[in-house]
A and B are shown apart, each in its own frame.
Chain A
Amino acid sequence: MARQMTGAKMVVQALIDQGVDTVFGYPGGAVLPIYDEVFQQNAIRHILVRHEQGAVHAAEGYARATGKPGVVLVTSGPGATNAVTGLTDALMDSIPIIVLTGQVPTFMIGSDAFQEADTVGITRPCTKHNWLVKETDRLSGVIHEAFHVATNGRPGPVLVDIPKDVQFAQGTYCGPKPSASHYQPQLKGDMETIKELVAAIENAKRPIFYTGGGVINSGPGASQLLRELVEATGFPITSTLMGLGAYPASGDKWLGMLGMHGLYEANMAMHDCDLMINIGARFDDRITGRIDAFSPKSKKAHIDIDPSSINKVIKTDLPIIGDVGHVLEDLLKVWKSRGRKTNVDAVRKWWGQIHDWRKVDCLKFKQEGRTIKPQYALERLEALTKDHDRYICTEVGQHQMWAAQYLGFDDPNRWMTSGGLGTMGYGFPASIGVQMGHPDALVINVAGEASWLMNMQEMGTAVQFRLPVKQFILNNERLGMVRQWQELLHGERYSHSWSEALPDFVKLAEAFGAKGILCGDPETLDDAIMEMISHDGPVIFDCLVEKHENCFPMIPSGKAHNEMLLGEAETQGVIDAKGSVLV
């Protein structure tokens, strides 16, 4: 229905018509007309963050935990540039978010006006698409198109830059009409290739499912189909960091995460398999290790909605472009209609091999003495929270990898971590976004002390909006992951990798009006975690852990999956000069 209204009102109306209930933002001169409209309505809740980076990560957390796109509203210039890290993060992890930025009035663009930045220029490479809207009549159409582009195909961040005069001017508002867009990515996979994959499944002797964030992004239905396929075929399954929860960690076909800090059995199975079925993953370098030694004996199938993911890194024998949910549905249908066949005897033998690898028990550790091992802290956190309606975020570093290893996810959309960009400072604001989406759930951010400080200002947001997010900081007083690499690669020269002058986290929590808990004793850890869970409000939990613990297993840079390090004893001189230039 076409109506006359100001551009500012159109923004709010378009968000309402898109079903948006939450916006994360920060005001400024170039978005004041929009904030004026936000003030005069009740349909949309605005969460005032303390830094625009926080707004974008919060929107990412909200999107990942709810399956709905996240929305951000920030001002021009510094507001927009502060959003760049979050946009890049969302692009790398394929998270649908819509960022609305204010801009100086159209007649001042290009004059180096106060708080002018070339926002669409700066964000072109870190958005899926962006728009500068110069006419109010086009504004509503562009915002609806922005939602369409962000959420269809491979999801991603989009940005709409709105000059202030466009917000003030009157124009015609149009409601959403999805068919209007020429952007209509292909959802169904090629049936001939799907049939070839079914034939490969029927004959495979050493098959493995290698799944990624694409399964989660495809929606809960895709995870359901994946579970059905895994149970029906009896094939083992591993997942990337991004795909955890699509198949339940408690399922008996689950091998654990693969990759640089993945489980021994998962990486060995990837290396030795004869059929690899990649579903919504992208052969990232954290997964493949050395390319020319990556799973040398396997036939590789790759299901992905993004054609550019196919053959980008690893050559694929059976490429299937389409949405994971659609392709899995067709795949199951064909496989069932052909008699649900697998090579049962060979697959049983393959499981025998996998059980042998499992005996290595690569995540074993010993909690001894008076210092908490980080692995122990996570094991206890898992035991005491897994029966809750629980969502986990992380920062970036060793704690992130330990969280992926020691916490189990039985459902999709429960695990929010910065995978592609590896953004320290992601987890805390993301946890705020998650809690907004699930007000009654237990939302925990597993953090490192260094990462957490990067967006600690968001304590103000958590307290103001009564968001009971739990900040579980594994405090090793080190940039632990950096320290680990320096130990392994740089002759134990620990250049700037420890955290000096850390705040007293308990007092810091109290200064913000929140609760702080300190624990450094394995004996009292359970009680302290219980205290954190039962507190109705935000908590900073300062968990003092072993300072020099390394994260294993580890595939060193430039090595193959079967050259994994399992523990301290093996680490001397393992990374050669060629490997050390890799990150």
Chain B
Amino acid sequence: MSALKIKKGSTSHSAYNLRPTFSDAIERHTLAVLVENEPGVLARVIGLFSGRGYNIDSLTVAEVDHTGHLSRITIVTSGTPQVIEQIKAQLGRIVSVHEVHDLTVEGPSVERELAMFKVAGQGDKRVEALRLADIFRANVVDSTLESFTFEITGNPEKIDAFAELMRPLGLIEVARTGVAALPRGET
């Protein structure tokens, strides 16, 4: 499976490689979608996923280019290779979408997510929570005598691992941002 990169307006030759190499294995892909920053654009993207029955594992969105009116939507999705190709092509069809990048196949990329964990406990458990937070480079952003709120950044697996460790130590609330991702290197 090769990269799909939609750049509207390219006329030289197709940017798609659509020679099929289909299998039934479910793959997880991180897509970066650059969209016009206008009302309703997120609804278009989400409506596409719900209307056509695609999965959204995580989704983040924020304006990234104020003068160019562009927002970046990072979507983690899963499906068979054929479904992933369809998702990218369908995203590319949305008029407000400028570019679609499949970070999973376009070369190495970095993924980060921010999460906050509220952990309540006393005695040994409280000490252990603080010690593990240190190992995971999580910061304490709020504390009372009976609770800590940790802030942690990392790839989703690291955050999952931290959540598992905190659970028996009194985890009472979690907030996660979803994944933001960029390709490695200069381009």
Contact = CB atoms under 8 A, between A and B. Distances in A.
B169 to A, nearest CB: 44
A316 B20 contact: yes
Contacts of A132: 39-40
Nearest to A148: B95
Contacts of B18: 307, 310-311, 316, 319, 321
Contact of A308 (B43, B93, B98): B93
Given A120-B40, A124-B44, A183-B95, A315 B10 contact: no
Given A128-B95, A311-B85, A187 B11 contact: yes
A306 B16 contact: no
Interface in B8-34: 8-14, 16, 18-20, 22
A184 B7 CA distance: 10
B92 A307 contact: yes
A190 interface: yes
A322 B9 CA distance: 12
A190 B18 CA distance: 12
Interface string B64-99: 000000000000000000100110011011111010
B185 interface: no
Contacts of B43: 121, 124
A572 B57 CA distance: 47
Contacts of A115: none
Contact of B9 (A129, A184, A307): A184
Contacts of B108: none
Contacts of A322: 14
Q: Which of B8, B36, B95 has the most CB of A within 10 A?
A: B95
A193 interface: yes
A192 B13 contact: yes
18 contacts: A132-B40, A182-B9, A182-B36, A182-B98, A184-B8, A186-B11, A187-B11, A308-B86, A308-B93, A310-B16, A310-B18, A311-B18, A312-B86, A312-B89, A315-B22, A316-B18, A317-B19, A321-B14
B51 interface: yes
Contacts of B168: none
A313 B10 CA distance: 26
B72 to A, nearest CB: 16
B11 A308 contact: no
Interface in A295-316: 306-308, 310-312, 315-316
Interface residues of A, number: 34
A439 interface: no
Given A124-B44, A193-B14, A319-B16, A183 B8 contact: yes
A307 B94 CA distance: 12
A188 B12 CA distance: 7
Q: What size tier do the contact residues of chain B reach? A: 20 to 34
Contact of B93 (A190, A307, A317): A307
A183 B36 CA distance: 11
Contacts of A182: 8-9, 36, 98
Contact of B16 (A120, A121, A321): A321
A125 B49 CA distance: 11
Contacts of A311: 18, 20, 22, 82, 85-86
Q: Which of A186, A190, A322 has the most CB of B within 10 A?
A: A186
Contacts, number: 78
Contacts of A186: 10-11, 14
Contacts of A187: 11
Interface in B28-67: 36, 39-40, 43-44, 47, 51
Contacts of B16: 307, 310, 319, 321
A321 B92 CA distance: 13
Contacts of A121: 40, 43
A459 interface: no
Contact of A315 (B20, B40, B47, B98): B20
Contact of A189 (B14, B40, B85): B14
A124 B6 CA distance: 22
Nearest to B40: A120
A190 B51 CA distance: 31
Nearest to A321: B14
A124 B89 contact: no
A142 to B, nearest CB: 11
Interface string B89-113: 1101111101000000000000000
Contacts of B96: 129
A186 B15 CA distance: 10
A509 B13 CA distance: 56
Contacts of B90: 308
A306 B86 CA distance: 11
B26 to A, nearest CB: 17
Contacts of A129: 94-96
Contacts of B22: 311, 315
A149 interface: yes
Contact of A185 (B8, B12, B20, B39): B8
Contacts of A193: 14
A191 interface: yes
A182 B94 CA distance: 12
Nearest to B7: A186
Contact of A149 (B6, B10, B39, B95): B95
A428 to B, nearest CB: 30
Contact of B89 (A184, A310, A320): A310
Nearest to A306: B93
Interface string A352-393: 000000000000000000000000000000000000000000
B39 to A, nearest CB: 7
A467 to B, nearest CB: 34
B9 to A, nearest CB: 4
B89 to A, nearest CB: 4
**Top-6 shortest CB links A-B:** A308-B89, A129-B95, A184-B9, A319-B18, A190-B14, A315-B20
A416 B94 CA distance: 27
A192 B44 CA distance: 34
Given A183-B95, A190-B13, A322-B14, 14 more contacts: A124-B43, A184-B9, A184-B11, A190-B14, A192-B13, A307-B89, A308-B89, A308-B92, A310-B18, A311-B22, A312-B86, A312-B89, A316-B18, A319-B19
Given A184-B8, A308-B93, A311-B82, A125 B14 contact: no
Nearest to A192: B13
B99 to A, nearest CB: 10
